[in-house]
């Protein structure tokens, strides 16, 4: 109700064409071309259908749909840093529109955001995205993962980021080894966060883990700050 009232008092405009729309208008959201991540988030070698033949990773497949640049970069940053909750449906649509068909026994699992960031933004953006995304194919969304501590990765190197997220997450309960668990995140930078999340699921008994991310940081561009 609050989002509806705000949209009347201060309507949102399409980032792409300037027309009315929650982030993207009904026309422009069909014009965004996906460009899936083609390199392993860990070793940076080419992926084949989301798989890396060189690395031992706790997830079976990694799908990252759009580079974090242009319209997608603006949408993601405004959603996270400007608290544009109204963008949730648009981002979930974009994610669903380009991600693969998931197994029927899939459970959607959001990567929990740090408490500090939730407090700053007023909402957990990843949970909202995962909940809306899960609604589209009709899979359950469960907050299976917990977070042990807050981390701030501003200015951190790749090795520092990996060290910071080691054992960061834990599963709140034992998991069914026959199920498929789909980790949802908004941005992949080094791959450390999704690896830590998958490690926690695997430790709890999950054997089939897929990662689906809305965007990824292009290798030739400096990672944007985490605030």
Write down the residue that tokens 């026309």 correspond to. Answer: 27
Give per-residue pLDDT as tens, 96-127: 999 989 999 999 999 999 888 888 888 899 99
Token pair for residue 227?
A: 């605030």
Task: Say what the pLDDT of residue 102 is.
Answer: 95
Task: Say what the pLDDT of residue 151 is.
Answer: 60
Helix (H, G, I), strand (E, B) or coil at 206: coil
Q: Report the C-alpha gap between 98 and 32 in whole angstroms.
A: 10
Task: Characterize 123-151 residue by residue with b for buried, 16 or more Cβ atoms within 10 angstroms of its Cβ, and e for exposed.
Answer: ebbbbbbbbbbbeeeebebbebbebeeeb
Q: Which DSSP symbol is given to 87?
A: G
Model-level pTM? 0.85
- In what helix (H) or strand (E) does residue 19 lie, and over which residues does it extend? none
**CA–CA distance from 127 to each of 17, 144, 145, 219, 226 (Å)?**
28, 11, 11, 26, 17
pLDDT tens-place values along the chain, 227 residues long: 445 544 444 467 899 998 888 889 989 999 998 899 999 888 888 988 888 888 889 999 999 999 999 999 999 999 988 889 999 999 999 999 999 899 999 999 999 998 888 888 888 999 999 999 999 999 999 999 999 876 655 455 556 555 567 789 999 999 999 999 999 999 998 899 999 999 999 999 999 999 999 999 987 655 444 43
Q: Report the C-alpha gap between 111 and 90 in whole angstroms.
A: 19
């Amino acid at each position: 109700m609050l989002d509806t009232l705000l949209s009347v008092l201060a309507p949102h405009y399409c980032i792409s064409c300037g027309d009315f729309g929650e982030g993207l208008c009904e026309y422009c959201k069909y014009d965004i071309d996906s460009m899936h991540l083609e390199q392993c988030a860990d070793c940076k070698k080419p992926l084949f259908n989301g798989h890396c033949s060189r690395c031992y990773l706790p997830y079976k497949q990694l799908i990252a749909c759009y580079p974090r640049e242009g319209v997608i970069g603006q949408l993601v940053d405004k959603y996270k840093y400007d608290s544009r909750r109204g963008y949730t449906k648009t981002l979930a649509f974009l994610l669903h529109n380009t991600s693969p068909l998931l197994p029927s026994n899939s459970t959607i699992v959001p990567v929990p955001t740090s408490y500090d960031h939730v407090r700053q933004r007023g909402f957990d953006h990843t949970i909202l995205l995962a909940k809306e995304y899960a609604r589209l194919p009709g899979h359950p969304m469960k907050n299976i993962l917990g977070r042990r501590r807050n981390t701030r990765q501003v200015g951190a190197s790749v090795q520092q980021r990996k060290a910071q997220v080691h054992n960061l997450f834990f599963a709140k309960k034992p998991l069914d080894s026959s199920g498929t668990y789909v980790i949802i995140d908004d941005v992949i930078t080094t791959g450390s966060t999704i690896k830590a999340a998958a490690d926690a699921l695997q430790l709890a008994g999950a054997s089939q883990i897929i990662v689906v991310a809305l965007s990824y940081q292009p290798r030739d561009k400096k990672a944007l700050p985490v605030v």
